[in-house]
Homo-oligomer: A and B are copies of this chain.
Amino acid sequence: MDRIIQISQLAITSPGKIVLLVMDGLGGLPHPETGKTELETARTPNLDKLAEEGICGLSEPLGAGLTPGSGPGHLGLFGYDPFAFTIGRGILEALGIDFPLEKGDIAARGNFCTIDGKGLITDRRAGRISSDVCTKLCEELSRISFQGVKALVAPVEGHRFLLVLRGTGLNPDLADSDPQQLGVPPKEVVALGREGEATAAVVNSWIAKAKGVLAGHHPANMVVLRGFARLPHLPSMGESYKLNPVAIAAYPMYRGLARLVGMKVVDCGRSVEEQFATLSKHYAEHDFIFLHIKKTDTAGEDGDFKRKVQAIEEVDAAMPQLVNLKPDVIAVTGDHSTPATMKAHSWHPVPFLLHSPLCRPDDVAEFSERACSKGALGRFPALDIMPLALAHAQKLTKYGA
């Protein structure tokens, strides 16, 4: 918290433009056969050229050994200490679908799932039902009514939906009902403190009614909930950094996160090509552009090494479009590592490059984990990225006389 206040006191308006390109889950681990990571395997002539002209390092989202979720990973990139500012999963989901949250609302992320005759979970994603089916089921669930509390249900994508409870005296300190494993029943929702007991009772009652509604809708015949949360207060990026920021992100959570820190969020297609085209379209109006590419992470989570390599190559191929705009600062990194060999987020630091006419280039001539580990920025906290970007765009004034 202190850090962003310090930076905000030095922030000034300047014509400099910053593009922060985040390839989600960019960092990787060596393929057992080749000894090369996804990024080391990918052919990336454009990123390599930026690395050669720029300065590189390895960014550490939370510090040694700690693995971030998507929320903390991005907050750090935006300069908000992820330990000082926390955002519940439910809130992120709500923001990502433009759900009009009101003060005091409690939001949770829901999954449709499949249970067997004994009530045990057999598929945590209900056979990955389509978004259309999800929308229809959410309409049915929206009819569940209570006295005093509104239970709003909105589809997110595939098997995922949002539950929002609206009423007085609700408390978000509740444990998940999602056991995150198969062969067990969904858990009762338990309050983490006395103040949450009434809310837990409402949620459990809603779940029981939802089970009834869904009984005939196999494979989506049950729900699990997690990440109960209330809207946090975060200072706006625009005010903190005296920027006019815009987010180009296709995936709901990242759009929500960008909105939470006060970025304008514009429509963009799903493909890398469409996202880069959207960047060109909005480039003139903004001095900070956050471009979020999801497919690197998805491929990593799926354990698909080759697809992650392809996703990186696809981004590299689109880079000339960005480079030709000649931003004062291009920063390229990830919010965390997602090695395909681990099929999960990991703690490994993330390759980072900063390209700017004002940077002091190092000897790194290739954008990769190994090369970046020898970069002049060394291994550094992700929280340094915003001050570095702002400085190179001449948006930070001198500290002290």
Whether, in the assembled complex, A92 has its beta carbon less than 8 Å from a beta carbon of chain B, the answer is yes
Assess whether B376 is in contact with A68, with CB atoms less than 8 Å apart: no
Binding-face segment, A206-214, A243-251, A290-298, A362-370: A362-370
Assess whether A67 is in contact with B30, with CB atoms less than 8 Å apart: no
Contacts of A363 in B (CB 8 A): 370
Within 8 Å by CB of A361, from B30, B88, B109, lies B30
Binding-face segment, A58-66, A125-133, A150-158, A264-272: A58-66
Q: What's the Cα separation between A357 and B82 when bound, in Å?
A: 29
Q: What's the Cα separation between A100 and B366 when bound, in Å?
A: 58
Interface residues on A, range: 35 or more
Assess whether A399 is in contact with B66, with CB atoms less than 8 Å apart: yes
**When each residue 40-76 of chain A gets 1 if its CB lies under 8 Å from chain B and 0 otherwise, what string results?**
0000000000000000001000111111111110000
Assess whether B63 is in contact with A387, with CB atoms less than 8 Å apart: yes
Within 8 Å by CB of A30, from B66, B360, B387, B388, lies B360
Contacts of A376 in B (CB 8 A): 58, 370, 373, 379
* Shortest Cβ distance from A226 into B: residue: B401
Within 8 Å by CB of A398, from B69, B361, B390, lies B69
Whether, in the assembled complex, A323 has its beta carbon less than 8 Å from a beta carbon of chain B, the answer is no
Assess whether A362 is in contact with B358, with CB atoms less than 8 Å apart: no
Whether, in the assembled complex, A89 has its beta carbon less than 8 Å from a beta carbon of chain B, the answer is yes
Assess whether A391 is in contact with B65, with CB atoms less than 8 Å apart: yes
Q: What's the Cα separation between A30 and B360 when bound, in Å?
A: 7
**When each residue 346-365 of chain A gets 1 if its CB lies under 8 Å from chain B and 0 otherwise, what string results?**
11100000000010111100
Q: What's the Cα separation between A82 and B398 when bound, in Å?
A: 13
Whether, in the assembled complex, A289 has its beta carbon less than 8 Å from a beta carbon of chain B, the answer is no
Contacts of A221 in B (CB 8 A): none
Contacts of A400 in B (CB 8 A): 68-69, 71-72, 82, 86-87
Within 8 Å by CB of A69, from B88, B388, B399, lies B399
Whether, in the assembled complex, A277 has its beta carbon less than 8 Å from a beta carbon of chain B, the answer is no
Contacts of A346 in B (CB 8 A): 358, 391
Interface residue ranges of A88-116 to B (CB < 8 Å): 88-89, 92, 109
* Shortest Cβ distance from A89 into B: residue: B401
Do A69 and B401 form a contact, CB below 8 Å, given A63-B384, A369-B360, A370-B362? yes
**A–B Cβ pairs within 8 angstroms, 20 of them:** A7-B65, A10-B66, A62-B399, A63-B387, A64-B391, A65-B388, A65-B391, A69-B400, A70-B401, A92-B401, A227-B401, A342-B358, A346-B358, A347-B391, A347-B396, A348-B360, A374-B374, A376-B379, A378-B378, A379-B380
Give the 9 A-B residue pairs with the shortest CB-CB distance, closest first: A65-B387, A89-B401, A64-B384, A65-B391, A373-B376, A72-B400, A69-B400, A69-B401, A347-B391
A-side residues, CB < 8 A to B, are 6-7, 10, 29-30, 35, 37, 58, 62-72, 82-83, 86-89, 92, 109, 227, 342, 345-348, 358, 360-363, 369-370, 373-374, 376-380, 384, 386-392, 396-401
